[in-house]
Chains A and B, each alone.
Chain A
Amino acid sequence: GNSVTQMEGPVTLSEEAFLTINCTYTATGYPSLFWYVQYPGEGLQLLLKATKADDKGSNKGFEATYRKETTSFHLEKGSVQVSDSAVYFCALDSSGSARQLTFGSGTQLTVLP
């Protein structure tokens, strides 16, 4: 079956530090890959996505590249801000008629001023 393994948190960084959150996946076929972000007390929002190998998703300074050879979709940001503090979820969407998102366990990020 499909699965997503995500770097365990919590992660605490100082403002302007470099961020990497690792994500690897197991899936049959050719899934799409997503990063969702959950700010405190809110629902999930799509941060970025990539739908095929070597695609790079980017948004708000965050980037992730779909690496089929390493089955990875690591999230990076060059300079984090306090407002980036949230829980980040890596997810994949299985192809086929029974679509569903399979999530990683989430990584809590806290950015200190």
Chain B
Amino acid sequence: DTAVSQTPKYLVTQMGNDKSIKCEQNLGHDTMYWYKQDSKKFLKIMFSYNNKELIINETVPNRFSPKSPDKAHLNLHINSLELGDSAVYFCASSRAGTSTDTQYFGPGTRLTVL
């Protein structure tokens, strides 16, 4: 059983388009996250949601909008895609609570903007 799943795995699109990436977790976790991994493998938090409420919103262009319809899902919508948005996007989840909780990552979505 897949714990954290993301769709699609690969996404190739033109500049200016709008696209969404979906994430679902079946672990019963309260907190979900989006991370961006650039071409040099550097990982940075983008958003964090706890029980459908936004907790962290790092310095991310407002073209990126997360949406959490329920606590098992956290989707990422991106408007007016730019070349610099090309990266691998990882969804993750953890139980809410202390900093000792492990975050479980999805397989990633490789976004390529042409």
Using a CB–CB cutoff of 8 Å, the interface residues on chain A facing chain B are 31-32, 34, 36, 38, 42-46, 49, 51, 87, 89, 93-103, 105-106, 108
Tally of contacts, chain A with chain B, CB under 8 A: 67
Cβ contact within 8 Å between A44 and B105: yes
State whether the Cβ of B103 lies closer than 8 Å to any Cβ in chain A.
yes
Cβ contact within 8 Å between B105 and A98: no
Using a CB–CB cutoff of 8 Å, the interface residues on chain B facing chain A are 4, 31, 33, 35, 40-45, 48, 55-56, 90, 92, 94, 98-108
CB distance from A10 to the nearest CB of B (A): 11
Q: From known contacts A103-B43, A105-B42, infer whether A43 and B108 are also in contact, taking CB-CB under 8 Å.
A: yes
Give 19 CB contacts A-B under 8 Å.
A38-B41, A43-B4, A43-B105, A44-B90, A45-B105, A46-B104, A51-B99, A93-B101, A95-B99, A97-B55, A99-B48, A99-B99, A99-B101, A100-B56, A101-B35, A101-B103, A103-B43, A103-B44, A108-B41
CB distance from B21 to the nearest CB of A (A): 13
Cβ contact within 8 Å between B99 and A32: yes
